[in-house]
Amino acid sequence: MALTKTTLGRATVWYDALYPARPYWLVGPDANLVIEEFVDLPLLAGGTPAACTTTLVGASTTALAAGNLGGALVITTADSDNDGAQMQWLGETFLPTSSNQIYFGIKLQISDATQSDFLVGLCITDTTVLGGMTDGLYFRKVDGATACTFVVETGSAETETAACTITAATDVILEFWWNGTALNFYVDGVLTGTPAITYIPTAEYLTPTIAFLTGDDAAITMTVSWMRAGQVLV
């Protein structure tokens, strides 16, 4: 993998030469970055990450596991419908206004593509983002379907755009890039949609969020290989 360096505002950005919308590192006085390879993420007693507010339903668990070229985060739900976990990184720092450019990306797979719910992206802090969250930019898959959509939401009003079909036990990379005026999202490195920004949440600070629930009376897993979110003031 070759990296390319560029300047964006008062930040230096290194991105994948094959995928220009996928930054790997950024640094500068007007930049912030959350990067998780799940190798040495500090854990609290009970196994939940110290960097997150974690809500576990039932006897669900989060744990670090070995992975290729790094670690992995494994969420294992308990065995009752809607058991699972929600994780939100501490501190709301991402604001999609015309002055900020924002990236979010995640590589994940789930063991059951139909009987499951998940939400990954940037969201307002909320203890029940699946069904109760009001503001965010995120990918969502609901119970009983394999379709994943990209959602733009503010004040509980949203637009939803088809993104991809989720396949069990198969990695998928979900990403989006806000450039201050337009929003693009990508599936496995391919530009897939440019949704309307009518409901872009310009008045609410957002934070990286992962939520995963079982949709049946069975324990299932989500494995996250990496997650990155970056913002630059331009």
Higher pLDDT, 208 or 66: 208
Q: What is the pTM of this model?
A: 0.96
Question: CB of 108 within 8 A of CB of 223?
Answer: yes
Compute how many other C-beta atoms are within 10 angstroms of the C-beta atom of residue 109: 18
Q: What is the pLDDT of residues 175-188, one digit of tens each?
A: 999 999 999 999 99
Closest to 86 in 3D by CA, of 28, 44, 36, 131: 131
Which pLDDT band, with edges at 50, 70 and 90, does 68 fall under?
low
What pLDDT, in 10s, does the model give residues 114-125?
Answer: 999 999 999 999
Tokens, residue 7: 């300047």
Q: 159 lies in a domain?
A: yes
Residue 12 lies inside a defined structural domain of this protein:
no
Asked whether residue 211 is domain-assigned, the answer is: yes
| pLDDT confidence bin for 20, thresholds 50/70/90 | confident
| Residue 146 within a domain | yes
Within-domain flag for 24: no
Q: Which domain holds residue 169?
A: 30-233
Domain with residue 182: its CATH number is 2.60.120.200
Q: How confident is the model at residue 51 (pLDDT cuts 50, 70, 90)?
A: confident
Report pLDDT for 135. Answer: 97
Number of domains in the chain: 1
129 assigned to some structural domain:
yes
| DSSP H or E run through 148 | strand 147-154
Q: Is residue 47 part of a domain?
A: yes
Question: Could you tell me if residue 4 is inside a domain?
Answer: no
